[in-house]
């Protein structure tokens, strides 16, 4: 008699919502930093894009957001480089690549020159 498959075994993989989400690589002290890590990380994790490199970039991004909110809470001056660091860390995550369509939408009009083999120049 065959043994029932166990969740987490080689033949069955649990839904991403039930798998363990990895912790941040850096300690986060603000609630905003933890919330940003959890929100962005869960999106990447559920879509299957949370690789080792993305996890490191996500941790760095959350650490930058955490440092920004800590500086705001302590009424310290915010340097412009802080926003640049956050922007670079967010870009390393590749979040803008997640929503790009793979193909044209179904209701897009067809190109009238697509079958002629030449461009639409006049």
pLDDT in the model for residue 4: 46
Task: Tell me what percent of the residues of the chain surpass a pLDDT of 90.
Answer: 47
Kindly give, in sequence order, each residue whose CB lies less than 8 Å from that of residue 4, ignoring residues fewer than 6 positions away: none
Q: How many CB atoms lie within 10 A of CB 36?
A: 22
SS (H, E, C) 70-114: HHHHCCCCCCHHHHHHHHHHHHHHCHHHCCCCCCCCCCCCCCCCC
| CA dihedral over 73, 32, 59, 54, signed as positive or negative | negative
pLDDT in the model for residue 111: 72
Model confidence pLDDT, tens digit, residues 6-27: 444 555 666 655 667 889 999 9
Res. 76 pLDDT band, cuts 50 70 90: very high
Instruction: Please tell me whether the overall predicted TM-score, pTM, comes out greater than 0.95 for this model.
Output: no
Collapsed DSSP state (helix, strand, coil) of residue 57: helix
Domain positions in the chain are: 51-96
Q: Please say if the pLDDT value at position 2 is more than 50.
A: no
pLDDT in the model for residue 61: 95
Mean pLDDT of 79-92: 92
pLDDT in the model for residue 5: 46
Q: Please say if the pLDDT value at position 74 is more than 70.
A: yes
Query: How many Cα atoms within 13 Å fall on the side-chain side of residue 67?
Result: 15
pLDDT in the model for residue 12: 62
Degrees, nearest 5: CA angle 102-106-112: 100
Backbone angles phi, psi at 21, to 5 degrees: -85, 130
């Amino acid at each position: 008699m065959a043994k029932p498959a166990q969740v987490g075994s080689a033949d069955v993989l649990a839904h991403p919502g039930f798998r363990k989400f990895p912790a941040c690589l850096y300690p986060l002290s603000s609630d905003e930093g933890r919330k940003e890590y959890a929100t962005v990380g869960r999106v990447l994790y559920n879509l299957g894009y949370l690789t080792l490199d993305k996890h490191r970039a996500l941790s760095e991004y959350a650490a930058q957001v955490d440092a920004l909110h800590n500086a705001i809470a302590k009424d310290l001056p915010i340097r412009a480089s802080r926003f640049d660091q956050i922007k670079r860390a967010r870009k390393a995550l590749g979040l803008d690549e997640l929503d790009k369509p793979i193909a044209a939408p179904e209701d897009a009009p067809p190109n009238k020159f697509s079958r002629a083999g030449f461009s639409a120049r006049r």
